[in-house]
Amino acid sequence: MSVRSAIPTAIFLKRRDLEKRVWLKMDLWILPVVTMFYLLSFLDRTNLGNARVAGLQKDLAMTNYQYSIALTVTYIPYIVAELPSNLLLKAVGPNLMLPTMLTLWGVVTVLQGIVSSYRGLLIARFFLGLLEGGVLPGLVLYLSSFYPRRRLQWRISIFFSAASLSGAFSGLLAFGIINMDGIGSRPGWAWIFILEGLFTFVFGLLSFALLPRSPGHSRFLTKEEKDYVAATLRDDGVTSPDEKVDSFSWKEVVMAFTLPHVWLISVIFFMDGTVLYGLAYFAPSIVQGLGHTPARTQLMSVPPFAVAFVLTMIGALVSDRYQCRGLVSMFAFALCIVGFTTFLSTVNNHVQYMSLFFSIAGVYLSAPSLSTWGANNAAPHIRRATAIAIGFIMTNSGGILATWLLGSLSPAPRYVLATKVLLGFSVAMFALTAVNILYLWDQNRRKKSLRENMIRSQEDPGLGDKSAWFIYAL
């Protein structure tokens, strides 16, 4: 090999080593913290289902209607908080804003364990929703500011998998905690809130020291590594060469509301949220309706969520490797269709239980695929922040429907009306995902034609995802 040919090879090897080192460092420093954030968020929001099975509804003399109200009260401030918090995240700093929310909702979760009336529960659930509202869209926006688009779903899936882990973990945890019934004159369900809330509070305080503001503020990266990340994000369209383009602008907020693909995926988000939260909140009740005791119900709730975790990670690897967000989502919705069809078509308890492995795994796979898809296809920063918030506002609006659909409109244990609606939504999501893929494919085809007739310097640098050089993820 000549000296001349060896030089490019050495440069290539050095760059490849730098690339591997940078993303590994980020994965080791950032992902565990972000994953714990979402694990605690989902755990503290959905543990009401475990507490219900453990006697909360009976002790507070709540009807099914009142239980649905308690869930709805969480969602309203949650939805209201999502867009403002995402728009403020960059200005305030995610390293301050996210840990503050986590610490405060830990306090509120503990307070749920000492309520002695339905009214007290409603107040606690309201503030829990208000403080948690900005977390999920904030975490997606935060990660999308650290990783290039092609690497994003694996990372989002890691922290999203915390949702399926929390479904499994909460069942195991609740099984152990309810045995504390009577300690400190508190019922077992109260200790679910108290212990989980205390852990959230402590981790919230620790996270102030763990979460970096941005790649440029990451203490674990060298200057060379920071420069590499900044250049990679610029080349990928995640950030703009002109900082003014990424600064706050009401024009960009409005622009996000005009994007057809944002609204297409937002309708999917609404239906997906209905399915996701319906199963997250009511899986323990569904399992109990299959003839299990409260203690065994907590354990039997674990396996479907464990399978969902494994499938979510496999789906993320496939999606990032082949850049097929939409196709992975369609596969997820096909699993939901199989699950709900099976649940609806039989009265056999064992078969109905097995159907949960399809529906729960399917919807938990779809969530990170859709979230990554939405984040991948909006730029610059404020437009992306708004698009992400719109998606999660729709997701949690679907959560409100889920609380009523399974809480009081569809009687247990068969949940016939709810299952029919969730099946219909799964079919509709499958079809709309196909429509979105075709729309984005057509937009990419048009952009290719534009690139053939102009050079990049002729284009307005503030176009964001409307740029001919911004290729939509399919």
Q: How far is CA 280 from CA 18, 50, 363, 388, in A?
A: 41, 10, 10, 21
CATH of the domain at 210: 1.20.1250.20
Do 214 and 254 belong together in one domain? no
What is the chain's mean pLDDT, rounded? 89
- With contact defined as beta carbons under 8 Å apart, do 366 and 329 qualify? yes
For residue 35, being part of any structural domain is answered with yes
Tell whether the model's pLDDT for residue 95 goes beyond 50: yes
d(CA 42, CA 132): 9
Amino acid 62 reads M
Amino acid 147 reads Y
Do 257 and 117 belong together in one domain? no
For residue 227, being part of any structural domain is answered with no
Task: Give the single-character DSSP code of 407.
Answer: I
Range of the domain at 79: 21-218
- With contact defined as beta carbons under 8 Å apart, do 72 and 406 qualify? no
Half-sphere exposure of 21 (CA within 13 A, CB side): 13
For residue 390, being part of any structural domain is answered with yes
d(CA 192, CA 408): 24
pTM of the predicted structure, to 2 decimals? 0.86
Task: Give the single-character DSSP code of 62.
Answer: -
Secondary structure element (H or E) that encloses residue 157, with its range: helix 152-177
Residues in the chain: 474
Do 308 and 381 belong together in one domain? yes
The total number of structural domains that make up the chain? 2
Average pLDDT over residues 137-155: 90
For the purposes of burial, counting CB atoms within 10 Å of the CB of 80, is it exposed (0-12), middle (13-18) or buried (19 or more)? middle
Start-to-end C-alpha separation, the chain: 42
Model pLDDT, residue 4: 45
Tell whether the model's pLDDT for residue 401 goes beyond 90: yes
For residue 154, being part of any structural domain is answered with yes
For residue 40, being part of any structural domain is answered with yes
d(CA 51, CA 48): 5
For residue 225, being part of any structural domain is answered with no
Greater confidence, 152 or 438? 438
Task: Mean pLDDT check: name the lowest of 50-54, 225-229, 320-324, 421-425.
Answer: 50-54
The string of pLDDT tens digits covering residues 426-455 is 999 999 999 999 999 999 999 999 999 888
243 — pLDDT class (breaks 50, 70, 90): low
Instruction: Compute the 3-state secondary structure of the chain and give helix, strand, coil in percent, each to the nearest 5.
Output: 80, 0, 20
Task: Mean pLDDT check: name the lowest of 359-373, 419-433, 446-460.
Answer: 446-460
d(CA 414, CA 420): 11
Model pLDDT, residue 43: 80
